[in-house]
Structure 1
Amino acid sequence: MNSRVRLAYIFGLVFLILSSGLRLALAFRSWRPLGGELLMVLKAMSCGLIMDLVTLSYVGIPYLVLLVLAPQRLYSSKRFTPFLHIGSLGSLYLLIFTLVAEWFFFEEFGARFNFIAVDYLIYTQEVLTNIWESYPLTPILLGILLFSVALWLPLRRQIKLSQSFSDPLRRRALLSLPWILAACLFSQVADLNWTQISQNMYANEIASNGIYSFFSAFKANEIDYGTFYPTLPEERVWTRLRKALSEPGVQFISSDPWDLRRTVSPIGASLEKRLNVVLIVVESLSGEFLGTLGSKKPLTPRLDEIADQALLFTNFYATGTRTDRGLEAITLSVPPTPGRSLLKRPGNEDLFSLGQIFRQKGYQVEFIYGGYGYFDNMNHFFSHNGFHVVDRGDFSSEEVTFSNAWGVCDEDIYRKAISRIRLSSQKGIPFFGLILTTSNHRPYTYPEGRVKIPPGKGRAGAVLYTDWAIGNFFQEARKEPWFE
């Protein structure tokens, strides 16, 4: 093809090779979750190549337009040569950077770029700081640069050669036509559902393309529940709900089958116990870490001790992979909602929530968080649903002994909580606090000397510190008159 347009197809081939290389690497990394099935990997690679072609047909359009429409005098001039080389090297760097970012994202979430990646773009400061603290960015970025240069060097000849072609605009347009037609066709028929090749989530994610899935998530801000989820007739659902909610002590306000409002009377007690209530929410502390639930690793000795003396629920399951999903479920008692969580949706004010219930009972109701509450829209949600928000901005410098990208360490949060409960107790007001901790989160850093695993060495150390901080909180709280 004696035309400068060939350059687009050459770089397109590089895109396909690198994207397939990442997919193959992800497949080997996920060999065990894939069940060691070679056929599954081949299906993912084949489907993934199609998704790469779809993505390439879109992202390559600007470069193709430049090659087709740039006037010959400008394109072949010496002053345009540096622009071509810098643009080509920059494009290679951006592509490789994206692929490397996908690798780390997959390592963390077991998925291609999705709504999590979209959400993280909103909170640039926290996310970038977290990335800087979690990964050796300097050698990674330098490695990407060296690899980009290594790919660019053999392509210099093709760039120079493209400047020597003087084919007319009509021919360049004709040679670009297959690309344009492919992009038009894919825009009408391509769908992320093409990647649903099996019941194995890892295979489906590997078959996808991260760039495509990112923009798909960005576009699909809301999804239609009826389209993506099987449903039952509404009357049947409401009838079943009323039956499921019927139990001793429950009296429905009306006989309307669509009305679930009810009064609940305590059984076996004549008076309410106006106890202080503290609800601690810890990110990613799943049952696999807890010795009392079968873990062989000694990471939660204090929680195990507390579990032996307490009421332990052993049949709870996560409502999602994001903290806002857990907060949504705990605060509102709702199952996972399609699309975004209610914390980040418009119209999420004055919902029937834990905060509203405790406030109606005369409690001091607070959401205590060691980071900045604008993250995930937490400040707005909690402040409009019965909670007084205490976040990073309410900590004085004397109250902070350690912090990272996500906020102050757990022990600082608990000290703050104790001081808030003490203040409420001195006023004779019962206290309800929802505490969200931050230490059990990458980069897994915490104060030195608290546990035997040094900070920043991985999740095991963060779990151990989380456990220590909870145990220390109980120890300090027991000294307070309001504890009993």
Structure 2
Amino acid sequence: MFKRISGPLYPLFIFFLTNLILLSISRVALGLWQSERIGELGNWFQLLLNGVRIDISALCWLFAPLIILSVLFSGKGKAGLVVQSIVKIGLVIESTFFLFMEFATPAFINTYDLRPNRLFVEYLSSPKEVFTMLWNGHLSALISAPILTALCAFLFWKLANYAFKNVAYPKWHGNLITRPLVFLLIGGITFLGARSSLQHRGINPAMVAFSPDPLVNSLVLSSGYSLLFAVQQMKDEGNAAEIYGKMPLEEVISTLKSVRNRPDSDYISTELPTLTHNQATYQGKPKNLVIILEESLGAQFIGTLGGKPLSPKIDELAKQGWLFENLYATGTRSVRGIEAVTASFTPTPARSVVKLPGSQQGFFTIAELLSQQGYHTSFIYGGEKHFDNMASFFYGNGFQQIIDEKDYVNPNFTGTWGVSDEDLFTKAHETFSQLHQQGKPFFSLVFTSSNHDPFEFPADKIELYEQPQATRNNAAKYADFATGQFFELAQKADYWHDTIFLIIADHDSRVGGAALVPIQHFHIPALILGKDIAPKRDPRLVSQIDMPTTLLSLIGVSGNYPMLGYDLTQPADPNRALMQYDKTFGYMRMQNGQLEAVILQQGKPAESYVYAKDSATLTPIANNETMQKQALAYSLWGSYAYKLHLYRSAETKK
């Protein structure tokens, strides 16, 4: 009876209900897996209820075109049968997509502590690396997900054949209930279901978020919805004001200037509001500069910073150099670390400028500045230079040479992400020795990769911390071993006397946790080494963006640049950390003897917290309006600078 009354809407109803049930089952299964994170019964109620609400919205949006086709154009004629086939195929494809995303979710959560989001899309541009990583580290997911997806596609097709069998189609006229009336009624219901709200804005992830744990909030969504929402956000990602709140550019600039506490006379351009002239502390012959960007080597792996005993080589080097005890990464991706350490660029909710089209040339980096001052500039990597769009960004912004995987002759070990760190450092040492012999100053960014899932590195190099070999902790220990081996070579080489080195992580490994921003996982090591660098431990609260300005001062290069980082050779205390965690921004300062953090979330008012470093917990406090204003200014500056072409040197044309 219902099938006859509902007519062409019957198959849509069947698929709608089936998807709701399957997505709810998946949500329950994922919830049981992460039950400790979800907590009390009331949280479960919100998780499942809001989850159904999100699922209804997503299905209404995706099914809307199929509903229009079914109600208005399907029928028993030739054209109607074609439309019916389109609707049938559409239902199967969309339903299969939703389940495929659910099958892919556990492996993604294991790595990123969230449902699939924009990272899922970004990694699609590197199929070779991703496939190899999955093959070596997530083989069960790589095999099971396609098999289960194919099986579900087959079952959905069978369901479609049943649902479309003997469907009745209403006429355009002659009945009290005609197609236009049905369309108006069903269309209205579909629109309301899609918006799921009578407020000014329709439903979005912020409206159904209820937990301080980002993973729990992501479980409310389906992975298909999470991915599609991320794709939609990526189209408008240049404007952080749409996420955190509005502030005019003039106010952003004045706020940042007040935080920096530099005199107005330091700012030398009305067109480029952060452009300043900067005098280097070191006044001798300009030195070479090498930045060693360590993949995923957070402070949790560094013994001298209170981490696991996995870094004997770096711990020993720390006694010889300038160690920063409280330095924080700006993000959770390598490209975020790259933009921080090469350009001192503040993080935004958008993709890193390494990937954005408007920053592929004419965007300030220290490589650009140094190349203008006669330096040879290079990027040395063990993998493929095209990954994460690095080659385009580097070549367009001051890097003259890139060495990548194809440039290694007979490497000792090659894994998913390229040659081993030992091969990388051997190549770097050879390159620096040759450049030194040529008598030309050089700057090089050396980017390691062995400490990356699936954690492949040569056997019998280290005493394993745990079994089996391919684990996060063992890979971190190998990264330390390879770094120590390089410095044994470097300290005996002629170029050692004329070079400043920075060892710094791009980000921590597997950043996640129950906090809105897992601040403890933004804590990373930074160690400056060189013949004339006095050993010391620096307790100041600093950011990755302070490294480029400090390094230029140490190597004796003065110049005009737009970077907001502090020159840490000076006594000024930056006393701030900037942390971008997906769409959430964290801003931390030491206030009244305690660490205070402002958290900016998408579509929500700013919130203030006290951060307890020992327990890694955030405790809400009364709003600190001054800090909240500073946080908003920092979060907006990057978007303004990118969109308005403000992040360049005076010599670079728009």
TM-score (norm 1): 0.84
Partner of 2:518: none
Deviation at 1:464, TM superposition (A): 1.8
Query: What is the correspondence of 1:111-130 to structure 2 with a 5 Å cutoff?
Result: 111-130=114-133
Deviation at 1:325, TM superposition (A): 0.8
CA 233–178 in structure 1, closer or farther in 2 if over 3 Å, else same: closer
Larger relative helix fraction: 1
Deviation at 1:378, TM superposition (A): 1.0
Do the aligned residues in 1 keep the contact of 2:107 with 2:138 (CA within 8 Å)?
A: no
Please state whether the residue corresponding to 1:315 is helix, strand or coil. strand
CA 470–251 in structure 1, closer or farther in 2 if over 3 Å, else same: farther
Deviation at 1:52, TM superposition (A): 0.6
Partner of 1:275: 287
Deviation at 1:328, TM superposition (A): 0.8
Q: Distance in 1 between matches of 2:70 and 2:268?
A: 71
Q: What is the letter of the counterpart of residue 432 of structure 1?
A: F
Do the aligned residues in 2 keep the contact of 1:324 with 1:343 (CA within 8 Å)?
A: yes
Q: Distance in 1 between matches of 2:469 and 2:94?
A: 33
Query: What is the correspondence of 1:116-155 to structure 2 with a 5 Å cutoff?
Result: 116-136=119-139, 137-142=142-147
Q: What is the letter of the counterpart of residue 417 of structure 1?
A: A
Deviation at 1:146, TM superposition (A): 5.8
Partner of 2:414: 403
Q: Distance in 2 between matches of 1:161 and 1:203?
A: 35
Q: What per-residue deviation string (whole Å, max 9, x for no partner) do you get for residues 404-452 of structure 1?
A: 3322221111111111111101101222211111111111112222232
Confirm whether residue 44 of structure 1 aligns to residue 47 of structure 2.
Answer: yes
Number of aligned positions between the proteins: 473
Confirm whether residue 358 of structure 1 aligns to residue 370 of structure 2.
Answer: yes
Q: Distance in 2 between matches of 1:140 and 1:475?
A: 46
Query: What is the correspondence of 1:339-350 to structure 2 with a 5 Å cutoff?
Result: 339-348=350-359, 349-350=361-362
Deviation at 1:143, TM superposition (A): 5.0
Please state whether the residue corresponding to 2:328 is helix, strand or coil. coil
CA 82–65 in structure 1, closer or farther in 2 if over 3 Å, else same: closer
Confirm whether residue 20 of structure 1 aligns to residue 38 of structure 2.
Answer: no
Partner of 1:181: 188
Q: What is the letter of the counterpart of residue 478 of structure 1?
A: Q
Larger relative strand fraction: 2
Deviation at 1:123, TM superposition (A): 2.5
Confirm whether residue 299 of structure 1 aligns to residue 344 of structure 2.
Answer: no
Please state whether the residue corresponding to 2:290 is helix, strand or coil. strand
CA 46–455 in structure 1, closer or farther in 2 if over 3 Å, else same: same
Q: Distance in 2 between matches of 1:199 and 1:471?
A: 40
Deviation at 1:23, TM superposition (A): 2.1
Partner of 1:104: 107
Do the aligned residues in 2 keep the contact of 1:251 with 1:264 (CA within 8 Å)?
A: no
Q: Distance in 2 between matches of 1:22 and 1:74?
A: 39
Partner of 1:338: 349
Q: Distance in 1 between matches of 2:487 and 2:415?
A: 24
CA 128–308 in structure 1, closer or farther in 2 if over 3 Å, else same: same
CA 164–246 in structure 1, closer or farther in 2 if over 3 Å, else same: closer
Q: Select 2:63's aligned residue among 52, 55, 60.
A: 60
Query: What is the correspondence of 1:215-294 to structure 2 with a 5 Å cutoff?
Result: 215-220=228-233, 221=235, 222-230=237-245, 235=250, 237-239=252-254, 241-242=256-257, 244-245=259-260, 252=266, 254=268, 258=273, 260-266=275-281, 271-294=283-306
Q: Select 1:392's aligned residue among 385, 399, 404.
A: 404
Q: What per-residue deviation string (whole Å, max 9, x for no partner) do you get for residues 222-259 of structure 1?
A: 242333234666555544544554579x9726597956
- Unaligned segments of structure 1, at least 5 residues: none
Q: What is the letter of the counterpart of residue 40 of structure 1?
A: N
CA 439–455 in structure 1, closer or farther in 2 if over 3 Å, else same: farther
Q: Distance in 1 between matches of 2:120 and 2:481?
A: 31
- Unaligned segments of structure 2, at least 5 residues: 196-200, 498-654
Deviation at 1:182, TM superposition (A): 3.8
Q: What per-residue deviation string (whole Å, max 9, x for no partner) do you get for residues 243-294 of structure 1?
A: 554579x97265979564123242xx6x335333221112221111211121
Deviation at 1:54, TM superposition (A): 1.0
Q: Distance in 2 between matches of 1:121 and 1:162?
A: 35
Partner of 2:488: 475
Q: What is the letter of the counterpart of residue 16 of structure 1?
A: L
Say which structure, 1 or 2, has more relative contact order (CA 8 Å, 6+ apart). 2
Please state whether the residue corresponding to 1:314 is helix, strand or coil. strand
Q: Select 2:383's aligned residue among 371, 385, 393.
A: 371
TM-score (norm 2): 0.64
Do the aligned residues in 2 keep the contact of 1:328 with 1:341 (CA within 8 Å)?
A: yes
